[in-house]
Amino acid sequence: MPAANDLAQRDIDSLIHPYTNLDAHKTQGPLVVKGGDGCFIVTEDGTRYLEAMAGLWSASLGFSEKRLVEAAYRQMQQLPFYQIFGGRSNEPVIELADRLLKIVPEGLSKVLFANSGSEANDQAAKLVWYYHNAIGKPRKKKIIARERAYHGVTAYAASMTAQPINHMDWDLPLGGVLRTDAPSHYIFGQDGESEEAFVDRIVGNLERLIVREGPETVGAFIAEPVNGGGGVIVPPPGYFAKVQEVLRRYDILFIADEVICGFGRTGKMFGCDTFGIKPDIMTVAKALSASYMPISATIVSEKIADAMEAQSRKLGNFGHGVTYAGHPVAAAVALETLKIYEERDLVGMVGKVAPYFQERLRRFTSHPIVGEARGVGLLGALQLVKDKARRTSFVAADGVGPVVQAAAQRHGVLLRASPEAVYFSPPLIIQKDEIDTLFDALGAALDEGLAHAEQKGLLGMKAAAE
């Protein structure tokens, strides 16, 4: 057992860890991280790990970018905090908003800052309601989210999220959220169904949902360009084009959740650029500051901004905001991050290494417990299956995902696994030799997962209820 004054024991005694089995943590304890260098983190005992998830899909510039440290220090000396309520402002937040609007998809015109992706998506939903009240359509409030979506953990963002663990015993989801299909042909395609036919079927389901609910009651559709926490689901060709045709037909807003995909992750500046999405509202966080400071933004189109201005004129105020929105230190770090992206051509850097990353990822399709390798840019996942012919994925009770994750850690790589998939989202500065380090460790970890599955007699089994 750790000593009473040991960091690990003090962690166990004092902290509540998100997304952690709190009971098991009492005996397993934490992985205490002391430092970082490039794509690697260093634990308290000096062990180095390649961080294949960039922390939480987010540390785009790795863990030792001194320009961001210096930007924070300079701003802390000049103005460590001020708020932007009541028309007050500061230079970093003005510069950041202006620079953001120069790189986001055409048509977006105003920026509302917050602290996290959850908040950005939560306030996006509120703006949908506010906007439709402002334009005299008070019934147009429902929001369509997809199965396997992840949009955050605040009360309404978690309601738009479609992950059981975010709903069970939280009394969620709240009302007003509708569900439509996740665009995974591998997981949800019918026998003999082509990708094109699959897209037509699920987009048809979306339109039927809208008609059934009444278009006059549906305010928005929210989607990640690539589902992140739901399995790194890359949509088939033509999917978003057809979705947008349906949304335009029924005057429904498109919220693009770029919290994971934004700032080069998919090989272009935004997932919207990669997949031809023209959003009415776009949310960003994580790589906005390379995760060196908490900051997020909800960016709205001109028509929404105009309606917000008119409604605040009518009501006398815009009744929304958080204390740290536009925090000058966070804004200064985010501004420096965007400058680095441009000066170093980070999107171009991703374009050079992403083909090798994807090629190495796809080699694993021949592994006995891998059904599909999927990804785009520097995002990737492997679907773990017990029966390739039936596309039968492992379930939580099988324990294969955790075995693979733990084995990868023993081989020096931190990645993320669900019961049915393994995910990758490394820092965007990753180099070819580090990609080899990642996937060499993964290969060894998959072999351990295979041995576990064979020992438990899982291979070839049909799906069982969890």
Strands (E), 87-217: 108-114, 142-146, 177-180
Cα–Cα distance measured from residue 284 to residue 295, given in angstroms and rounded to the nearest whole number: 9
- The predicted model gives 135-151 an average pLDDT of 97
Cα–Cα distance measured from residue 206 to residue 247, given in angstroms and rounded to the nearest whole number: 9
**Which whole-number Å values give the CA distances from 7 to 3, 18, 44, 406, in the listed order?**
9, 18, 9, 22
DSSP-derived pairing of the beta strands 218-223 and 142-146: parallel
The whole-model pTM stands at 0.95
Cα–Cα distance measured from residue 394 to residue 387, given in angstroms and rounded to the nearest whole number: 9
Tokens 């993320």 locate to: 416
**Residue 72: per-residue pLDDT:** 98
> What digits encode the pLDDT tens for the residues 368-427?
999 999 999 999 999 999 999 999 999 999 999 999 999 999 999 999 999 999 999 999
For residue 168, pLDDT beyond 70: yes
Alpha-helical runs (H) found in 395-460? 400-410, 432-455
- The predicted model gives 153-175 an average pLDDT of 96
- The predicted model gives 237-251 an average pLDDT of 98
Task: Judge contact between 330 and 324, C-beta under 8 A.
Answer: yes
- The predicted model gives 55-69 an average pLDDT of 98
Cα–Cα distance measured from residue 368 to residue 376, given in angstroms and rounded to the nearest whole number: 23
**Residue 461: per-residue pLDDT:** 66
- Cβ-based burial of 11 (10 A; exposed 0-12, middle 13-18, buried ≥19): middle
Show Cβ contacts of residue 403 under 8 Å, excluding neighbours closer than 6 positions: 445, 448, 449, 452
462: confidence class by pLDDT, cuts 50, 70, 90: low
Cα–Cα distance measured from residue 279 to residue 281, given in angstroms and rounded to the nearest whole number: 5
* Closest C-alpha to 55, from 256, 294, 222: 294
Structure tokens at 161: 């999220």
Percent of the chain beyond pLDDT 90? 97
The two most distant CA atoms of the chain are separated, in Å, by 68
> What digits encode the pLDDT tens for the residues 289-329?
999 999 999 999 999 999 999 999 999 999 999 999 999 99
Q: Is 406 helix (H, G, I), strand (E, B) or coil?
A: helix
Domains and their CATH numbers in the chain: 31-63+346-455 (3.90.1150.10), 68-343 (3.40.640.10)
Cα–Cα distance measured from residue 422 to residue 70, given in angstroms and rounded to the nearest whole number: 35
Cα–Cα distance measured from residue 152 to residue 162, given in angstroms and rounded to the nearest whole number: 10
Going by the DSSP 8-state scheme, the letter that residue 382 receives in this structure is: E
For residue 149, pLDDT beyond 90: yes
Task: Judge contact between 193 and 184, C-beta under 8 A.
Answer: no
**Residue 30: per-residue pLDDT:** 95
> What digits encode the pLDDT tens for the residues 120-138?
999 999 999 999 999 999 9
**Residue 466: per-residue pLDDT:** 38
For residue 464, pLDDT beyond 90: no
Please state, rounded to an integer, the average pLDDT across all residues of the chain.
96
**Residue 5: per-residue pLDDT:** 55
**Residue 463: per-residue pLDDT:** 47
**Residue 460: per-residue pLDDT:** 77
CB atoms within 10 A of CB 214: 12
Show Cβ contacts of residue 15 under 8 Å, excluding neighbours closer than 6 positions: 30
**Residue 3: per-residue pLDDT:** 53
